[in-house]
Structure 1
Amino acid sequence: MTLIEDAKKGKTPPEVEAVARKEGVDPAALTRLVARGRVVIPRNARRDIRPTGIGETLTTKVNLNIGSSRGVADPAAEVEKAVVAMEAGADTVMDLSTGGDLDEMRRKILKAVEIPVGTVPIYQAEVAGDLTSQGLFDALERQAKDGVDFVTVHVGVNLNSFERLKRSHRIMGVVSRGGSLTLKYMSETGEENPYYAEFDHLLEIAREHELTLSLGDGLRPGCIEDASDRAKYMEFIMLGELVDRARRAGVQAMVEGPGHVPADEIETSVKAMKYVTDGAPLYLLGPIVTDVAPGYDHITAAIGGVIAGMSGADFLCATTPSEHLDLPTKEDIFEGTIVTRIAAHAADLAKAGVKDRARLWDRKMAAARRDLDWPSQFDLAINPAIAREIRHRRGVEVDTCTMCNELCAIRLAREAMEREAEKATRKTKEREG
């Protein structure tokens, strides 16, 4: 029995119990959401990891992409990045390696972290020079046997959606690497995308290994001008149909989304995706809200991530300052993780079913600031190390911040209130006397 099948029978698996405790939600209610496919808990049957829930009523989660390229392939560096992402608070990591020994890279990453790990099997098929139907399924099965917890499969990129793409007026065309490789296969062979044509076989493999499917957005817009076109929405309609098939097969599935989207189109996009996929957990890259900030796309994506999370997105894929420019360093990985966690929490503060729990954290920080309790402020900070560093970098030790010093608004206001309270007390005693 798979996790979703146990949940459909009313059982509450240990993973669901663990997520419910962590999130502060009712285990029975969470079990029902897992049964309906509105929450997924990625975990390969071969791995023992910290359970992470993604979906309705749960906090917005953060993924961090790592992985080598053909130009830069250092397994030790990618493992270090995975650990850095986990230590910075990422909920999952994805190994997108396309250079070096992919099997070695993946297996080392799986051993190094205690959080769910995802991959994109079509990359391995291409790197192996076996971009065939058999090669695609061999790569999927090889990664599932290694213990990968979730995989991106671009099943919405098929001959039907390819036609919509050819009729579009996109500037950037296709920016998804997996999407473009799928187009390459269909163009060269004239045949259907194997993952789509043989989706039932894909489900058999996923079911055997308790593999969560991340139905990829191979036609996501790669620039603001291409956002919200027919090709994108055609893909989402197909993904909605495939989500239904996965749920019926007892396989957990989530859906990936764009991409580059202007701020005023994000809410519509998220709600439409949620609607056509019957509330499947939604995994977004960004969305990136402007094309003109290379070097700062961790920020442009975070802006979009807040809006998307408020609108119902469940899972944000972090971008780093290196997005569109270079393979990220471990410092980029850390920065991208922290900034995306900020976006996820900001979204949770306004998200129905989550905001009351999320605001407890901010309430504790407010109390610590009120009391000028610096140790508690550092402990509550999303990045305690940087908070401590900035606080102490001038070497001036006062109980206020060095911006205000003796003109600290909190202290002055508190003293004024205390004087008023003393006046009121004296007046009361005078009347009584």
Structure 2
Amino acid sequence: MDYTTQMDAARKGIITDEIKTVAEKENMDVNELMKLIAEGKVVVPANKNHKNLSAEGVGKRLKTKINVNLGISKDCCNIDLELDKVKKAIDMKAEAIMDLSCFGKTKEFRTRLIGMSPAMIGTVPMYDAVGFYDKELKDISAEELLGVIETHAKDGVDFMTIHAGINRETAEVFNRNPRLMNFVSRGGSLLYAWMKLNNKENPFYEYFDKVLDICEKYDVTISLGDACRPGCLNDSTDASQIKELMTLGELAKRAWKRNVQVMIEGPGHMALNEIEANMMMEKKLCHDAPFYVLGPIVTDIAPGYDHITSAIGGAIAATYGADFLCYVTPAEHLRLPDLDDMKEGIIATKIAAHAADIAKGVNGARDIDNSMAKARRELDWNKMFEFAIDPDKARMYRESSRPEDEKTCTMCGKMCAVRNMNKVMEGKNINILRDDN
């Protein structure tokens, strides 16, 4: 039996190789998974032209996934360095990589990225348009913008951020409700400017059916972009953000009628006490579609540490419904991340995702924590490193300060509670001041 997309296959009861892979990774009954995919509550981004993909699922009842952003820019146009980042992201088992390249002819980098990556690949075609056509923004036609989407789809991109919710209605709401930070979405600001400069509707909204034609043909998952995401705490949960979210919910329904998979993108900067309500609102207004969030970044005053502010918000967001976390690095708001920044961002986001999976009760999420606890009880340092989220850093700290008693560490030495409880429970003397006999 033929099918067009993973959603179409699930609705027809066809177990694709990708659906089977996801079911195995999630330790989930394949029929339960297919039901969630058919309803739009889970997506399996899997472009027909991404041949070496190891498929992942994003959505309800699945493990929280993380995405790594990279790509070339005019100020940092080093393809080899970005490919080193790709290798690092793959080694660190990030489930997704987004190519945010926004300068020059990006096809070479995108093609090499897709060819080497088993992780799902995302792009933002709007970023590529100016360089793709070598034209100023105002002079790019609606047809040409759609052409960039088709090119990325043909190249094998698994999901694309399409800012279709920033239409004329949403723009009017924004105009009537001034913000402290205006728009901070790069794609959203470009489209708002294009609409103003040309006095036309957002082509991704006006010609959304043509976008769906492309995505259905190649099985590209649409990540409906949040052009109105808040860029500071002051702008969160405002009229512009909510208006766009309502529009994204309507567009999701239109996509599902065509068997096109959809994710919804969300904030942004947001105070801790607003996160839970925002997750509930997205799931309600967007009909339980998977939710992909940047952060949320929970304070505006920590440049250099925004991997931490983001991980705090991400853990809370995923606990209350977010399914996919975009990593944030220490370089956020400051510069293009380097390899070290990238590693810090991945680790922080993986911690947030795992903490949320435990809170959500995701099947098997606690198992590795229980294994770590057992290794700690047994003071088995090699096992502890094996279960650590960053074994290299844990081992480096251990080796940098060696204790007198190799079973302990230099924090407590022979007063180590674990060592002494083990000895007492075994009926042995503790011998803090003397060597053991």
Instruction: Establish whether TM, by shorter chain, passes 0.5.
Output: yes
Take 2:235 and 2:140, find their aligned partners in 1: how far apart are those partners? 28
- Mapped contact 2:50–2:115 kept (Cα < 8 A): no
- Mapped contact 2:69–2:100 kept (Cα < 8 A): yes
Counterpart among 346, 365, 371 of residue 364 in structure 1: 371
Give the letter aligned to residue 320 of structure 1.
T
For the residue of structure 2 that corresponds to 1:350, the secondary structure is helix
For the residue of structure 2 that corresponds to 1:218, the secondary structure is coil
1:265-284 aligned within 5 A: 265-284=274-293
Say if 2:387 is the partner of 1:380.
Answer: yes
- Mapped contact 1:89–1:337 kept (Cα < 8 A): no
1:30-429 aligned within 5 A: 30-48=33-51, 49-127=53-131, 128=133, 129=135, 131-352=140-361, 354=362, 356-396=363-403, 398-419=406-427
- Mapped contact 2:402–2:410 kept (Cα < 8 A): no
Take 1:131 and 1:419, find their aligned partners in 2: how far apart are those partners? 80
Take 2:231 and 2:157, find their aligned partners in 1: how far apart are those partners? 27
CA shift, 1:288, in A, is: 0.2
Take 2:7 and 2:114, find their aligned partners in 1: how far apart are those partners? 24
Structure 1 outlier segments of 4+, above 4 Å: none
CA shift, 1:402, in A, is: 2.0
- Mapped contact 2:66–2:96 kept (Cα < 8 A): yes
CA shift, 1:393, in A, is: 1.5
For the residue of structure 2 that corresponds to 1:279, the secondary structure is coil
Give the letter aligned to residue 360 of structure 1.
D
Aligned to 2:27: 24
CA shift, 1:131, in A, is: 2.9
- Mapped contact 1:69–1:97 kept (Cα < 8 A): yes
For the residue of structure 1 that corresponds to 2:104, the secondary structure is coil
RMSD (Å) for aligned C-alpha atoms: 1.4
CA shift, 1:403, in A, is: 1.3
Give the letter aligned to residue 243 of structure 2.
M
- Mapped contact 2:42–2:58 kept (Cα < 8 A): yes
Take 1:249 and 1:364, find their aligned partners in 2: how far apart are those partners? 45
Structure 2: where are the runs of 5+ without partners?
429-437
- Mapped contact 1:132–1:185 kept (Cα < 8 A): no
| Residues 26-77 of structure 1: CA deviation (Å, up to 9, x unaligned) | 1110010011111011111011211111000000000011012111111111
| Residues 164-189 of structure 1: CA deviation (Å, up to 9, x unaligned) | 00011310000000000110111011
- Mapped contact 2:402–2:409 kept (Cα < 8 A): no
Give the letter aligned to residue 393 of structure 1.
S
Give the letter aligned to residue 89 of structure 1.
K
- Mapped contact 1:74–1:100 kept (Cα < 8 A): no
CA shift, 1:134, in A, is: 1.4
Give the letter aligned to residue 155 of structure 1.
A
CA shift, 1:11, in A, is: 2.1
- Mapped contact 2:407–2:419 kept (Cα < 8 A): no
- Mapped contact 2:122–2:160 kept (Cα < 8 A): yes
Residue identity (%): 45
Across the two proteins, how many residue pairs are aligned to each other? 419
TM-score by length of 1: 0.95
- Mapped contact 1:79–1:112 kept (Cα < 8 A): no
Take 2:43 and 2:267, find their aligned partners in 1: how far apart are those partners? 20
